[in-house]
């Protein structure tokens, strides 16, 4: 039997770093949504006890360093199912981009293993197993537009999904290490987006108000280290997007447009500066 799961990328419409905790992690307040740019994972049972991963991506480890591997190990330890698993990962989400690709793959793995072995694991149980593997996985398990707080493990779905929008994504040819960004930021000097106002605008289905409150506390650090990120955001705004913000710790910059034709036009203009440009929709379950 073969099980297929889609793993959608996430975007941060808002990311506020509140403070650094004693354990070195950061207390966050974020608004996150899923988009229709997705990896595709295929799960099959195998006779041996092994976990094996194949992928079309040249950038990813296929051993224990991969989140998929860790998610299967966690499920096996908790539910003690017999036999091994082979996973084929078709990678479509750019890697180390601020789009939560690795976390979404892990979330898809929890769902896939649950179905493949009929484990009847609840969302709460899978979330508990997910937290030590990656702080964005709890959001990816739910997938709805949400306020995400704590380290990333407290996911509160908003009353409604983000207003229908087209998202132009530009991923410059650099990779950003999230642990490195968090270890380098000076929390006292960060800017703080108004997450409450962003949440209210979304829940009021007010697109214009929403575009005025996009923001990311990590943007200034990543932009200083990689000026190309700043350049992309400025180009997007020059070309007339409704709003633009860096996603996660970067380097991908996302821009919102209410009209598809304008999103396509702007994406084509941006292709002059950057190879990896996507036009996607938000997923509104």
94 assigned binding-site residue? yes
Residues 139 and 32: beta-carbon distance below 8 Å: yes
The two beta strands, 215-216 and 2-20, are: parallel
152 assigned binding-site residue? no
14 assigned binding-site residue? no
Smallest gap from residue 23 Cβ to ligand C5P (A): 9
Q: Name the active-site residue from 16, 105, 136, 242.
A: 136
Nearer to ligand C5P, 128 or 258 (CB): 128
215 assigned binding-site residue? no
Smallest gap from residue 12 Cβ to ligand C5P (A): 12
Smallest gap from residue 134 Cβ to ligand C5P (A): 4
Give one DSSP letter per residue of the chain, joined into a string: -EEEEEEEEEEEEEEEEEEE-TTS-EEEEEEEEEEEEEEEEEEEEESSS-EEEEES-SS---STTSHHHHHHHHHHHHH--SSEEEEEEE--SPTTSSS-HHHHHHHHHHHHHHHHTT----HHHHHHHHTTT-TTHHHHHH-SSEEEEETTTEEEE-SSPPPS-EEEEEE-S----HHHHHHH--GGG-----HHHHHHHHHTT-HHHHHTT-EETTHHHHHHH-HHHHHHHHHHHHTT-SEEEE-TTSS-EEEEES-HHHHHHHHHHHTTT-SEEEEEEB---
Smallest gap from residue 171 Cβ to ligand C5P (A): 18
Nearer to ligand C5P, 185 or 267 (CB): 185
Nearer to ligand C5P, 67 or 282 (CB): 67
CA distances from 7 to 34, 41, 137, 198 (A): 9, 7, 11, 25
177 assigned binding-site residue? no
- 136 noted as active-site residue: yes
101 assigned binding-site residue? yes
Nearer to ligand C5P, 177 or 268 (CB): 177
261 assigned binding-site residue? no
Nearer to ligand C5P, 34 or 165 (CB): 34
Smallest gap from residue 28 Cβ to ligand C5P (A): 5
The contact set with ligand C5P (CB under 6 A) reads 25-26, 28, 134-136, 151-152, 178-179, 182
- 10 noted as active-site residue: yes
Which residue's entry shows tokens 């409450």?
A: 196
Q: List residues forming the annotated binding site.
A: 94-104
- Enzyme catalytic residues: 10, 136
Q: List residues forming the annotated binding site for ATP.
A: 94-104
């Amino acid at each position: 039997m073969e099980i297929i799961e889609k793993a959608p990328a996430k975007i941060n419409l808002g990311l506020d770093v509140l403070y650094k905790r004693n354990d070195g992690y950061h207390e966050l307040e974020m608004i996150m949504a899923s988009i229709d740019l997705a990896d595709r994972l295929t799960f099959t049972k195998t006779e041996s006890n092994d976990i094996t991963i194949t992928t079309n991506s040249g950038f990813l480890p296929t051993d224990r360093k991969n989140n998929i591997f860790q998610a299967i190990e966690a499920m096996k330890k908790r539910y003690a199912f017999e036999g091994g698993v082979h996973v084929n990962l078709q990678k479509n989400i750019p890697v180390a981009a601020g789009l939560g690709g690795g976390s979404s793959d892990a979330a898809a793995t929890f769902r896939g293993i649950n179905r493949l072995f009929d484990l009847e694991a609840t969302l709460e149980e899978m979330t508990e197993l997910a937290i030590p593997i990656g702080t964005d996985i709890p959001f990816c398990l739910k997938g709805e537009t949400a306020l995400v707080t704590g380290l990333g493990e407290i996911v509160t779905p908003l009353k409604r999904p983000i207003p229908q929008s087209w998202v132009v994504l530009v991923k410059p040819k650099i990779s950003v290490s999230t642990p490195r960004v968090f270890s380098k930021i000076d929390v006292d000097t960060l800017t703080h987006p108004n997450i409450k106002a962003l949440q209210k605008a979304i829940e009021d289905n007010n697109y214009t108000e929403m575009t005025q409150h996009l923001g990311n506390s990590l943007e200034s650090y990543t932009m200083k280290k990689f000026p190309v990120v700043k350049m992309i955001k400025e180009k997007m705004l020059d070309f007339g997007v409704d709003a633009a913000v860096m996603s996660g710790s970067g380097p991908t910059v996302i821009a919102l447009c209410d009209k598809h034709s304008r999103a396509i036009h702007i994406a084509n203009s941006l292709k002059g500066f950057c190879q990896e440009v996507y036009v996607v929709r938000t997923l509104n379950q």
